[in-house]
Amino acid sequence: MQYWLFKTEPHEFSLQMLHDSPNQSARWDGIRNYQARNYLKNHVAPGDEVFIYHSSTTPCAIVGTARITTAAYPDPAQFNPQSPYFDAKATPSQPRWYAVDICWQSTFKTPIPLAWIKQQPPLHAMALLKQSRLSIVPVTKEEWVWILGGGIG
């Protein structure tokens, strides 16, 4: 059981859209960064829990949680020439990019802003802060518990 943080731009795909999807589930696709891809392919597993983080918005914040429901599988968009995520160098026998399915789990009454996270000494080592451009980052159990507790640990 591991914990993760997935970033999304809410006008592209928000936590609310996940909640409103059939079975409150959706494919988390379009990951086109090798480090994020490697996390998906090698480490993300069904049952893992995920903070959903809204980026490029005001305020940037963790808005709730989701649960991983599948192992990583090849992202179909890489094979679709019509898709913005098309990758001409990917083939079904040698896929480059992966996706997972996730299920909505909770929406926080009060989102947890990035500014608050930055103020918490126990969160100073968070991968979110260290690699601010990565769209999938691991979260430790201690960080997960601290954030869910609103800073009470």
Partner DNA sequence: GCCAACGTTGGC
C-alpha angle 150-152-153 in degrees, rounded to nearest 5: 105
Supply the minimum distance, in Å, between the C-beta of residue 7 and DNA.
Answer: 5
Range in contact with DNA (rule: CB under 7 A) among 17-25, 73-81, 132-140, 144-152: 132-140
Q: Nearest distance from residue 62's CB to DNA, in Å? A: 10
Beta-sheet pairing, 73-74 with 49-54: unpaired
Is residue 28 within 8 Å of residue 72, measured between CB atoms?
Answer: no
Please measure the distance between the N-terminal and C-terminal CA atoms of the chain and give it in whole angstroms: 19
Stretch that binds DNA, among 14-22, 41-49, 68-76, 131-139 (CB under 7 A): 131-139
Nearer to DNA, 46 or 80 (CB): 80
Q: Which amino acid is at 72?
A: A
- C-beta neighbour count of 125 within 10 angstroms: 12
Q: Which of 50, 72, 114, 126 binds DNA (CB under 7 A)?
A: 114
Q: Which residues are within 8 A (CB) of 5 and not within 5 positions of it... i.e. 6 or more apart?
A: 50, 51, 53, 62, 127, 128, 136, 137, 138, 139
Number of residues that bind DNA (CB under 7 A): 17
Contact with DNA (CB under 7 A): which of 133, 149, 152, 153? 133
Restricting to residues 74-113, name those near DNA by CB under 7 A.
Answer: none
What x/- string results for residues 5 through 44 when contact with DNA is judged by CB under 7 A?
--x-x----------------------xxxx---------
Alpha helices in the chain, H assignment, sequence order: 15-19, 34-42, 114-119, 127-130, 141-148
Binding site for DNA (CB under 7 A): 7, 9, 32-35, 55-56, 60, 114-115, 118, 131-135
